[in-house]
Amino acid sequence: MPYIYLIISISTEVIGSAFLKSSEGFSKFIPSLGTIISFGICFYFLSKTMQHLPLNITYATWAGLGLVLTTVVSIIIFKEQINLITIVSIVLIIVGVSFVKHFRNIALIALFQLLY
């Protein structure tokens, strides 16, 4: 269930970011309302996720996937341009999130062995 919460949180964060861009500095009512509602839902489900998953995994996954999906939305909906540096940076973030998620136990064991 925590991964369902995380997916909802990431999805509503991306939706909230799109509404935020559309609100033009909170000068348009409907997109502004969408921003507030979306981010409220986002943080509610993020907090539910953190009841079950470690903070580092939750936040790294939320931020990394949120960045990737927000970039996709910015390209498709807002017709924004990206460059090679942006693409490389996103790939590095995805690799970093994968490392944190899959190798955290190995890293913790190695750190523990170094300290003791």
- Mean per-residue pLDDT pooled into runs of 10, the chain (116 residues): 96 98 98 99 98 90 91 96 91 81 65 65
Task: Give the per-residue pLDDT at 108.
Answer: 60
Predicted TM-score (pTM) above 0.85:
no
Domain of 75, in residue numbers: 2-115
CB count within 10 Å of CB 107 equals: 11
Task: Give the per-residue pLDDT at 21.
Answer: 98
Angle (deg, nearest 10), helices 2-22 and 55-76: 40
Task: Give the per-residue pLDDT at 88.
Answer: 93
Structural domain count of the chain: 1
- CA 84, chain centre distance (Å): 21
Beta strands in the chain (DSSP E): none
Distance CA 34, CA 30 (A): 6
